[in-house]
Amino acid sequence: MDQLTRKSRLEFNKLQKRLRRNVGRAIADYSMIEEGDKVMVCLSGGKDSYGMLEVLRSLQRSAPVNFDLVAVNLDQKQPGFPEHVLPAYLDTLDMEYHIVERDTYSVVKSVVPEGKTTCGICSRLRRGTLYGFAEQIGATKIALGHHRDDIVETLFLNLFYAGRLKAMPPKLLADDKRNIIIRPLAYCTEQDLDDFAQAKNFPIIPCNLCGSQENLQRQVIKQMLQDWDKQHPGRVETIFSALQRVSPSQLADNSLFNFHDLALQRDSLEEDPAQQAEHAANPEDVVQFINALNI
C-alpha cells in the first residue's frame, strides 16, 4: 500500500512539474504575462480552467515578474447550476474572485431552434460579457483555459467546415483592441489536465446548457485526432508544431505573401549545394552531384 502511495505521489509530482513547465514555457514564448499585470482567470468550473488557475497560482509564487490573479466565473443562469460550488472552492484559496451573473441561457434558448447546437452563440455572449467585465476591474490580460488539443481541433474545424486556415493563437489582441487574451495552457495536453483534475479532486461542474450534443462537429474532429494519435503517436503534437512554423510563400494567400511581384534574381543568388542539385539539368546530373558529395 505504501509503495502504491509513493508511486502515485511520484507520478503526480511529474505531472505537476510537466504542467508548470509547459505553462511557464508558453508564457515566456509569447510574453503572456508581464510585470504589473492583473490577469483575469476565467473559471468555468471545468477541469481545464481549474488546472489553469492552480498552475498560475503556483507559478505566481516563483515568477521573475510580479502579477496579480483574479478569478472570474460567469453564472449564465442555467437551470440546476450549482451556484455554491465555485464560491465555496474559491473561498479556500484566499484570493480575489468575482461571480458575474448574466442570464445568457434565456437568450440562447430564445434564438436557437430546438435541436440545434448552442455553443457558437453561447460562446459569443459569454465572451462579450467577460471582456466588458475585464475592463471594469482593470484586468490587463484575460486568461482562457484552452489547451493544445483545443487549438488543433479548432484548426481542423475551420479547415473542414469554414474553409479557413485558422486556429486559436496563444495570445490575441481582441478585435476592438481593448483586451488581450492569453492561453497559458497552449502547450498542455488534455490528458494531462484530466489526470491533474482527478488527482486534485476539483469540484467539476459540467456544461449542460446544450445537453450532451454527442454529434457536435468538434466531437467528430476530436475523435478523428484521437484515432490518428493512436495509430501514429505524436501526430497531434506535430500538427501543433506546424502552427508555429508557417511558410506563407508555400501557401496561396495573396494577403500574406506577395506572389504578384515575384521576379527572377539569377545573378544575385548564390545557391547552396542542395539548390544546385535541385536545379541540375537532368536526373543523371543530380546523381553525379550527390555522388560527388558522398551523400
Report the chain's C-alpha Rg in angstroms.
24
- Collapsing DSSP to helix, strand or coil, 241 comes out as helix
Three-state SS sequence of 12-23:
HHHHHHHHHHHH
Q: Are 180 and 173 in contact (CB under 8 A)?
A: yes
Determine the Cα–Cα distance for residues 145 and 168; give it in Å rounded to an integer: 12
Angle between helical axes of 104-111 and 119-137 (0-180°, round to 10): 150
Determine the Cα–Cα distance for residues 104 and 126; give it in Å rounded to an integer: 8
The set of cell numbers assigned to 96 is: 480575489
pLDDT (tens, 9 = 90+) of the chain, 295 residues, equals: 455 587 788 999 999 999 999 999 999 999 999 999 999 999 999 999 999 999 999 999 999 999 999 999 988 777 778 889 999 999 999 899 999 987 777 776 666 666 666 566 667 777 888 999 999 999 999 999 999 999 999 999 999 999 999 999 999 999 999 999 999 999 999 999 999 999 999 999 876 655 445 447 888 999 999 999 999 999 999 999 999 999 999 999 999 999 999 999 888 656 566 566 555 556 666 566 556 555 4
Neighbours of 173 (CB within 10 A): 11
The set of cell numbers assigned to 236 is: 497531434
Determine the Cα–Cα distance for residues 50 and 173; give it in Å rounded to an integer: 24
Ordered domains of the chain (ranges, CATH): 2-248 (3.40.50.620), 263-295 (no CATH)
- Collapsing DSSP to helix, strand or coil, 165 comes out as coil
- Collapsing DSSP to helix, strand or coil, 19 comes out as helix
**DSSP class of 142:** E
